[in-house]
Amino acid sequence: MDEPPVTEYAQAQEIIQFYLEPEEGTHNRWLMVRKSDHRSIGTCGFHKWDKRYFRAEIGYDVSPSFWGQGYMMEALRAVIASGFEHMRLNRIEALVYIENDRSIQLLRRLGFKQEGVLRDYFCLDGKFYDHYLFALLQREWKS
Ligand SMILES: CC(C)(COP(=O)(O)OP(=O)(O)OC[C@H]1O[C@@H](n2cnc3c(N)ncnc32)[C@H](O)[C@@H]1OP(=O)(O)O)[C@@H](O)C(=O)NCCC(=O)NCCS
């Protein structure tokens, strides 16, 4: 289970502010813009960047009307390459709700390996949800 869609303008502002906050340096998030018509179609980036251990968690979302066209695959290839090359990451982690098949498929296609199940990892409206832990290591990555 992931964060529910935002319904209030203030909630969106809060998320944008979080990713604009530069001093902490543990996260970034890029806006995805389609080349053909310059439409904003999604976001992707890293959070929980731990420089000491050369690892970070990857996050991403595409607006539903743009699903199934390979945009996130293309974007994540670039994001992952940047993580390994510029951020000097050794390990990129992804946490995904166990029923999020599209996201799991995408991670597997990118070479992420499933490492385990995090039981009751996320809580929404008083209900707990299991998540898979996936990871990709720098030495496994073929750009
Ligand atoms: C997870 C999510 C990003 C996946 O988006 P997506 O559009 O399915 O993923 P991709 O960009 O990899 O698209 C792959 C699909 O495009 C198709 N495709 C078309 N042209 C393609 C191309 N040139 N290259 C690759 N795939 C292409 C593939 O066949 C594949 O279709 P299929 O899944 O029906 O087999 C999206 O479902 C989403 O935003 N979900 C909500 C937020 C979320 O869950 N985030 C992740 C939390 S862990």
Taken in order of first residue, the domains within the chain and their CATH numbers are 9-140 (3.40.630.30)
- Residue closest via CA to ligand 1's atom 22 equals 70
Task: Name the strands in the sheet holding 28-33, side by side, starting at the edge strand that comes first in the sequence.
Answer: 28-33, 40-50, 55-62, 91-97, 127-137, 113-124
pLDDT at 8: 85
Site to probe by mutation for ligand 1, drawn from 41, 46, 62 as the one with most ligand atoms within 8 Å of Cβ, is 62
Give the pLDDT band (50/70/90) at residue 89.
very high
Each residue of 16-73: pLDDT tens digit? 777 776 556 788 899 999 999 999 999 999 999 999 999 999 999 999 999 999 999 9
Q: Could you identify the atom of ligand 1 that is nearest to the CA of residue 106?
A: 12
- Residue closest via CA to ligand 1's atom 26 equals 70
pLDDT at 16: 78
Q: Are 75 and 60 in contact (CB under 8 A)?
A: yes
Distance 107 CA to ligand 1 centre (A): 10
Q: Which two tokens stand for residue 108?
A: 């597997």
pTM: 0.88
Beta carbon of 75 within 6 Å of any ligand 1 atom: no
Q: Which residues contact 76 (CB under 8 A, 6 or more apart)?
A: 44, 58, 60, 106, 110
Distance 122 CA to ligand 1 centre (A): 23
Distance 45 CA to ligand 1 centre (A): 16
